[in-house]
Chains A and B, each alone.
Chain A
Amino acid sequence: MPGDEMTASNLSNSVQSPRENEAERRQRVSQRKRRNFMQSLLSHAAINIIGLFFLIPFLWMLITAFKSNADIFHTPPRWLPYDNVLVEVNGKQLPLYSVQTEAGMKQLAMVKIIEGVGKFVDPAYPDQVLTYEIQQGSTKIAEPMMHVSFRWQNFPDAMNRGSRPGIGASFWVYFKNSLVIAFFVIIGTLLSNAPVAYAFARIKFPGRDVLFVIVLATMMLPYQVTMIPLYLFFNNFLHWGDTFLPIIVPAFFANAYDVFLLRQFFRTIPEEMCDAARVDGASEWQIFTQLILPLSVPVLATVTVFTFLWAWNDFTGPLLFLTSPKNFTMALGLQDFQGQRTLVWNQLMAAATVFTVPIVIAFFFAQKTFIQGIKLTGSKE
């Protein structure tokens, strides 16, 4: 593979073939070294450039989250967040403007601007109010001064507000709702999928394979087919509209993906252990709870992490079933926020960052589990 210095070909090339002379051999070796160097350079460049593609949007989300309102729409976009320079005058923080006066450019604190006319105050002489027009025609007379500043205030501003002006429920409520839903979905998933997977893995009952094929077949069913009748069923028949129930309750009834994943794992537990336990008179339930489950903690951890990721991320379910803002999950709240004509991008990015943080934390704590789970689902079979 490119870049790998100690390949067999390198070694073999440094062995002299009897028909070459010394000069030709050295030329061949140096040619190879140059080619390796070029390959290495190219691959380093490629890795880095592609790495930037993955990294920069992430950083941009964070940078925008720290920008001030004045800075978001700056064209061209700046790579650092800027904010107004503030100066204290008579106990108040006022923005500093650079103003074209008769005596040249001066830095004045802006008190008020109404209908194109601004009242300014020289910080050194706070009692004298000067009046200037902000703009004459298309020349700007007074412009605010900006400096690099990280606006941490965006985060509480974002989380304390609702997704639309005046909505009572704040993003903290959405965050809590997401947590509640994720919690119950995880419980339901663990409780229901493990026994089902165990039955498919280790209980020899007639019809098992047929049923398993059916389980797998349901993976092929697009959710759109069941979506409409389920919507009508939950809303009109059970009257569970605008509650968490339509999202949480189905999690208690197993799903093909987790059954498949757990079954694969359970089958790696030696059959002899289960048989020995059966011979000793243990019931299937006892084998399941006392033998299999303790050994399955890693895969159950994987399922927990994946289920959390799925529930935290879920958008379509909340979209269909949650109608009043106080029941929104964070995913729905973010989309609601973004669907307005009043986009406050810095707050939106701040909320999105808060939305992403639990997942990133979970990832760093459960790095191995994550990767293990992905490999289990993706690589074999």
Chain B
Amino acid sequence: MKKVFGLFSVLMILSMLLSACGSKPAAPIVLKVWIQWGDNPQQIQALFDKYTAETGIKVEVTAPLETDKILPSLTGSEPPDVLVLSGGDLVKSYYKENLVEELSGAVKAGNIDLNDFFDAPLNQCKVGDKILCLPWGADMYALFWNKDLFEAAGLDPEVPPATMEQLAEFADKLTKVAADGTIEQIGFIPDQAWGHSDLYIQQFGGFWYNEDGTKVTTNSQAVVDAMTWQQQFYTKYGVDNVLAFSSGWADAYMSADYPFYTGKLGMYVDGEWMTGPNFISQFKPEASYGVAHFPPPADHPERANTAVVQGTVAVIPAGAKDKDASAKLLAWMMSPAIVAEEFCFNANLPTSKTAAKDPCFTENPKFKVFSDLMASPNAKFIVTTPISLEFNDGWTLVEEQVLHTGADPKPLLDQLQAEFEVKLADALK
């Protein structure tokens, strides 16, 4: 009896060991870099192999990452040594929960020149004197338009709308509705692929936080105006019709069937990577399109070239094993040469002023639109707070309701204001 039981338990333990062996990687000193984005992880790994060549420390890159895995990775016991996030909005939330390191020490130790960073992307990482993250590559958004459709609608294909009101007019001309009410072609969809409320609200002169992130301002006039302006593009042709027409478009984002390429969508807002080698040139090189800064409202021409800088940022998780090694790796990542190399390849905007001088960022006229936007005095950064995680969810819901059901924005924004006013006050205590 005991003999058999002993055999039984040995069998069990053996099985467990076998399965454990097969799945756990065992490596001595290897730094792990996790990147939330990553259209070409092989290239990124090759980039980090240069660090290995310089210092002899192996770097293992994991990219891209599922959003859901970010928080567990930070709170778990095996966080990466450097984590690169797609956006900086959640960093303050993470810092509040002690999940990321404050980086002033790392900046000093690594001789990182903070003045070399563009203001807008760096500002989203700063809380007073504390530095919670360092920007690594930036994104900006501008207006894309289909030149063929412009021509067909009788508009000059080389001239984009100059004001938001004109944009609405152009959109009307570019929209074709069949006799039975179904849409065949649509001029503009404000939240195609992503919501861009932050961009539109800035055009109206405000944001959903105040300048220093201490107050919630979701029911301010700028926000209400922006949501009302966006809503017309859905309600004019019937919210259900527009939704039915545009359903599944986001699925086709990286394929030749993306509606912008197939002539179903006249204008929309998207980022600088589209002009690079990985998107339009790859999927639809024959596309005839134009890019220009998103137009300001007619009564505020001084807001021309207003655009919101969204950045990818690098953080050091609080649970990283060797903070010094992480800091050194971070400093290397931030050096202008590396920034130039990585973002030239990926067609993103460089966050280092020195790197921005590299000709690759100005030789493509369509990409240059974005470089100019970033250097413009009207470039704004996203204000973030410790409650950004929950707020973003609440905001997305309101945006959906306003745009996808045609609900009245004012009461919803009031509700949002009331809810998050309290939460922000609590969180800032």
Contacts and interface: CB of A to CB of B under 8 A. Distances in A.
State yes or no: do A and B come from one complex.
yes
Interface of A: 69-70, 72-73, 113-118, 134-135, 137-138, 164-168, 180, 184, 187-188, 191, 235-236, 239, 241-245, 248-249, 252, 283, 285, 289, 319, 323-325, 327, 336, 339, 341-345
A288 to B, nearest CB: 10
A381 B39 CA distance: 55
Q: Which of B41, B73, B286 has the most CB of A within 10 A?
A: B286
A243 B21 CA distance: 9
Contacts of A283: 1
Contacts of A134: 286
Given A166-B40, A235-B76, 19 more contacts: A73-B257, A164-B38, A165-B38, A166-B63, A184-B18, A191-B11, A235-B77, A236-B77, A241-B77, A244-B20, A244-B22, A245-B20, A245-B23, A248-B15, A252-B15, A285-B1, A285-B4, A325-B62, A341-B250
Given A138-B149, A187-B15, A243-B23, A341 B40 contact: no
14 contacts: A113-B285, A115-B286, A115-B287, A116-B286, A137-B151, A138-B185, A188-B15, A241-B76, A245-B23, A252-B12, A323-B73, A336-B66, A339-B66, A342-B251
Interface residues of B, number: 51
A202 to B, nearest CB: 16
Given A117-B286, A339-B66, A191 B12 contact: yes
Contact of A342 (B254, B285, B286): B254
Nearest to A167: B41
Nearest to A348: B251
Given A180-B19, A236-B77, A323 B72 contact: yes
Nearest to A237: B77
Interface in B132-158: 147-149, 151-152
B40 A252 contact: no
A249 B23 contact: no
Contact of A184 (B1, B8, B15, B288): B15
Contacts of B248: 73
Contacts of B429: none
Interface in B235-288: 248, 250-257, 263, 285-288
A69 B258 CA distance: 12
Contacts of A289: 4
Contacts of B1: 283, 285
B16 interface: yes
Contacts of B87: none
Nearest to B11: A191
A180 B21 CA distance: 12
Contacts of B73: 323
Contacts of B149: 138
B205 interface: no
A37 B252 CA distance: 51
B148 A116 contact: yes
A247 B263 CA distance: 48
B422 interface: no
B8 A191 contact: yes
Given A336-B66, A342-B255, A116 B15 contact: no
